[in-house]
Amino acid sequence: MAAMRAIAIASNSTSCLVTRNPVLLKQKPFIQSLFLKNLKVAYSSSKRSYACRAIYNPEVQVKEEGQLETLDYRVFLVEKSGKKVSPWHDIPLQLGDGMFNFIVEIPKESSAKMEVATDEAYTPIKQDTKKGKLRYYPYNIHWNYGLLPQTWEDPSFSNSEVEGAFGDNDPVDVVEIGESRRKIGEILKIKPLAALAMIDEGELDWKIIAISLDDPKASLVNDVNDVEKHFPGTLTAIRDWFRDYKIPDGKPANKFGLGNTAANRDYALKVIAETNESWNKLVKRSIPSGELSLV
């Protein structure tokens, strides 16, 4: 039976004038310029309006269709009116003060490989399949896992800093290290702490390490060194988990760029800014979308 869970998305602004944000202004010029550029986007397409898209701020509910762990199972986000919205395209990325929205696809301590269906209308969350069968990780993932909305890893872009690897054609992934187990489709306010440059079969698949702002330890961690201090061993555990999870299926281990270590918060913000810019080009149709849904 379908169920709904209310989720309120808080707004931090009523205008596109982000220059008032003191934290943003303290960022390195490259990061600042990318975010300012993207936040001031005002354009339209044949299917939707993108004027001031960065602060579009719906109050949404989670609506489940079908039975969990079946091929028909989907998790949609809907407004109170019943209108569906895309967790990838319609939920705002940026909240200001270096904070972002994060959408949970896989709750911690679970193994069903859930992901946004980037090729379906309104990009609902579903369980991934291979040869018509539902996919599972060989063991539980120990952190909440999901995506940053309004980001995209461009498969035509070769990253010279990460072995020239091309993007994996998906939104950017987030590994949220807080203590609570979250729900599929839940939207959390997070702050990025670090970034891992995973290379999966030659494709660059960023993992942003973050913590939910409502976690008891959120005030203690603000950068990569704080993670090691307050969550000792976590960065290594995340890297090793993603390195090895395909080995039980007979595939080689994944690799990591950037010296096989987690980059700091500033680098994570740079990744977010670059992939947000790529998403903007995608939805403006400056880049071919292929089979990706822009609805």
From 43, 56, 73, 137, the catalytic residue: 137
Distance CA 33, CA 127 (A): 37
Helices then strands (H, E): number in the chain? Answer: 5, 19
Angle at 201 between CA 197 and CA 204, to 5 degrees: 30
Domains, the chain, in order of start with CATH, read 4-283 (3.90.80.10)
pLDDT tens-place values along the chain, 295 residues long: 444 444 443 333 333 333 333 334 445 555 555 554 544 433 333 333 333 343 345 689 999 999 999 999 999 999 999 999 999 999 999 999 999 999 999 999 999 999 999 999 999 999 999 999 999 999 999 999 999 999 999 999 999 999 999 999 999 999 999 999 999 999 999 999 999 999 999 999 999 999 999 999 999 999 999 999 999 999 999 999 999 999 999 999 999 999 999 999 999 999 999 999 999 999 999 999 999 999 9
pLDDT at position 32, please?
A: 52
Identify which of 266, 268, 276, 286 has the alpha carbon closest to the alpha carbon of residue 92: 276
Give the Cα separation of 171 and 118 in Å (integer): 9
Within 13 A of 180's CA, how many CA atoms are on the CB side?
A: 13
For residues 12 and 91, give the distance between their C-alpha atoms in angstroms, rounded to a whole number: 14
Known catalytic residue at 50: no
